[in-house]
């Protein structure tokens, strides 16, 4: 009989602590401004814990306490890209380094914001005609294929998120 009570108290305790973690996740936007923009990514709007561990004491082995590598998280919902490829035919989904920011691996979040943006398709950068990138998303990485002029400076990585 004591094992039964021990098991019950363990289950109740786990329920309590999981509720605490969930409550922390729901308060993320009090400090983090990731969802300020008009175009929001559905899973980010639904809560942070789909992709992040809210417990600051837990090391997930991934940056920003992500539960998995960014592309693995993206492909959990956007699984068609894994089998059919990116909508821009032949464009890779990953790589050893981001052409714009070589200290980062190239992934879905190199071009797309996982939270919110002002741009359609959750594009991370502003590619309007008023920017040095001449209205083309491709020119961020492939400037020399389009122009014989020096490449403009890269925009800040999160430039168009806010």
In the chain, the percentage of residues whose pLDDT exceeds 90 is 23
Cα atoms in the Cβ-side hemisphere of radius 13 Å centred on 124? 17
Does residue 25 have a pLDDT over 70?
no
Please tell me the distance from the alpha carbon of residue 132 to that of residue 25, in angstroms, as a whole number. 38
Average pLDDT for 134-161: 73
Measure Cα distances from 119 to 24, 35, 36, 112, 161 in Å.
Answer: 29, 13, 13, 9, 9
Predicted local confidence at residue 159, as pLDDT: 41
Has residue 161 got a pLDDT over 70? no
The per-residue pLDDT for 42 is 92
- The two three-digit tokens of residue 79, written as one number: 């699984």
Arithmetic mean of pLDDT, 67-72: 94
Which of 80, 19, 75 shows the shortest CA–CA distance to 43? 75
Domain ranges of the chain: 2-146
pLDDT in tens, 54-69: 888 899 999 889 999 9
Nearest residue to 88 via CA among 72, 108, 102: 108
Task: At 5, give phi and psi (nearest 5°).
Answer: -65, -40
For 102-144, how does the pLDDT look when each residue is reduced to its tens digit (9 = 90+)? 888 999 998 898 999 888 889 887 666 566 666 677 888 888 8
More confident residue, 147 or 27: 147
Phi, psi at 41, each rounded to 5°: -80, 125
Confidence tier at 76 by pLDDT (50, 70, 90): very high
**What pLDDT score does 135 carry?**
65
pLDDT at 130: 62
Greatest mean pLDDT among 29-38, 48-57, 147-156: 48-57
């Amino acid at each position: 009989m004591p094992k039964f009570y021990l098991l019950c108290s363990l289950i109740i305790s786990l329920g309590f602590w999981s509720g605490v973690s969930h409550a922390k996740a729901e308060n993320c936007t009090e400090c983090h401004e990731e969802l300020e923009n008009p175009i929001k990514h559905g899973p980010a709007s639904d809560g942070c814990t789909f992709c992040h561990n809210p417990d600051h004491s837990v090391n997930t082995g991934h940056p920003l306490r992500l539960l998995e590598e960014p592309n693995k998280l993206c492909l959990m919902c956007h699984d068609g890209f894994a089998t059919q490829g990116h909508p821009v035919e032949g464009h890779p989904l990953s790589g050893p380094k981001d052409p714009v920011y070589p200290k980062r691996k190239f992934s879905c979040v190199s071009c797309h914001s996982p939270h919110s943006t002002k741009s359609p398709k959750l594009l991370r950068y502003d590619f309007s005609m008023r920017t040095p990138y001449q209205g083309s998303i491709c020119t961020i990485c492939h400037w020399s294929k389009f122009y014989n002029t020096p490449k403009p400076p890269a925009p800040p990585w999160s430039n168009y998120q806010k």
